[in-house]
Amino acid sequence: MSRGPDAATLLRRVLERHAERCGLSLSWHATESCRWASATFVGACHRMALAIEGAGTDAWIAGLDEVDLPLRGHLVADLIVATTVRTDIGADVGIEVLTVET
């Protein structure tokens, strides 16, 4: 029996949909994840590198840490934009995300 997609896959999908709704194009450079646990929570840490293109790139990046990113079976506990390098058509962005299993 399949458990379904992992948190990293769900996170990529929801970020792609969010960018598309904002009229932006998103492509992935790299994604890496590692398991994480505290005394009361289990989840994963994700480092993701992506390229975002379009007229609303700066606003999308600025609001990314506040956007609701629903993930089935997981909660986005923290999201930070770690790096941003502007390009002629958008930006290359590095994000770090902590997800917790629900």
Q: What is the CATH number of the domain that holds 84?
A: 3.30.2000.30
Q: How far apart are CA 66 and CA 89, in angstroms?
A: 24
Indicate yes or no: pTM above 0.95. Answer: no
Q: How far apart are CA 47 and CA 59, in angstroms?
A: 21
Torsion sign over Cα 17, 21, 24, 25 = positive
- Does a structural domain hold residue 2? no
- Span 21-39, pLDDT tens digits: 999 999 999 999 999 999 9
Q: How far apart are CA 74 and CA 94, in angstroms?
A: 21
Structural domain including 80 reads: 7-101
> Three-state SS for 57?
helix
- Does a structural domain hold residue 1? no
- Across the range 73-97, mean pLDDT stands at 97
- Does a structural domain hold residue 39? yes
Banded model confidence at residue 68, pLDDT cuts 50, 70, 90 = very high
Q: What percent of the chain has pLDDT over 90?
A: 96
- Does a structural domain hold residue 66? yes
- Does a structural domain hold residue 76? yes
Helix (H) or strand (E) holding 8: helix 7-21
Q: How far is CA 21 from CA 3, 4, 14, in A?
A: 28, 24, 11
In total, how many domains does the chain have?
1
Q: Is the pLDDT of residue 52 over 80?
A: yes
Q: Do the bridges between strand 42-53 and strand 74-86 make them parallel or antiparallel, or are there none, so unpaired?
A: unpaired
- Does a structural domain hold residue 23? yes
